[in-house]
Amino acid sequence: MTSLDKPTEDSEQTRSDDARAVTEAALFEAFGGVRGMVETVLPGLLFVAIFTVNKDLHISAIAALALSLVLVVVRLVRKDTVKHAFSGVFGVAFGVVFAMFTGNAKDFYLPGMLYTLGLALAYIITTLAGVPLIGLILGPVFKENLSWRTRNPGRKKAYAKASWAWGLILLAKCAILFPLYWWSDTTKLGWVLVALKIPPFLLAVWLTWVFLAKAPAPIDVFAEMEAEEKAEKEREAALAAEGGEPTGGRHRREA
Q: At what angle do helices 57-78 and 83-102 cross, to 10 degrees?
A: 170
Query: Is the model more confident about 91 or about 183?
Result: 183
**192 pLDDT more than 90:** yes
What is the pLDDT, as a whole number, of residue 213?
87
What is the pLDDT, as a whole number, of residue 18?
56
CB contact at 8 A, 99 and 107:
yes
What is the pLDDT, as a whole number, of residue 234?
79
56: DSSP letter: -
Contacts of 190 (CB under 8 A, 6+ apart): 44, 47, 48, 51, 52, 109
What is the pLDDT, as a whole number, of residue 89?
80
What is the pLDDT, as a whole number, of residue 235?
83
Q: What's the rounded Cα separation, in Å, for the pair 238 and 250?
A: 14
Contacts of 143 (CB under 8 A, 6+ apart): 218, 220, 221, 222, 223
User: For residue range 8-55, what is the model confidence (pLDDT) as tens digits?
Assistant: 555 545 555 555 666 766 676 667 677 777 888 889 999 999 999 998
Residue 204 burial by Cβ neighbours in a 10 Å radius (0-12, 13-18, 19+)? buried
What is the pLDDT, as a whole number, of residue 71?
86
Q: What's the rounded Cα separation, in Å, for the pair 38 and 89?
A: 13
**152 pLDDT more than 70:** yes
What is the pLDDT, as a whole number, of residue 251?
44
Q: What's the rounded Cα separation, in Å, for the pair 86 and 140?
A: 20
DSSP per-residue letters across 71-132: HHHHHHHHT---HHHHHHHHHHHHHHHHHHHH--GGGGTHHHHHHHHHHHHHHHHHHHTT--
Of 175, 167, 139, which is closest to residue 26 (Cα–Cα)?
A: 139
User: For residue range 120-149, what is the model confidence (pLDDT) as tens digits?
Assistant: 999 999 999 999 999 999 988 888 889 999
User: For residue range 223-253, what is the model confidence (pLDDT) as tens digits?
Assistant: 877 787 888 887 887 777 776 554 444 444 4
What is the pLDDT, as a whole number, of residue 249?
46
CB contact at 8 A, 185 and 50:
no
What is the pLDDT, as a whole number, of residue 187?
93
Give the Cβ contact number of residue 9 at 10 Å. Answer: 10
User: For residue range 60-78, what is the model confidence (pLDDT) as tens digits?
Assistant: 999 999 998 888 888 888 8
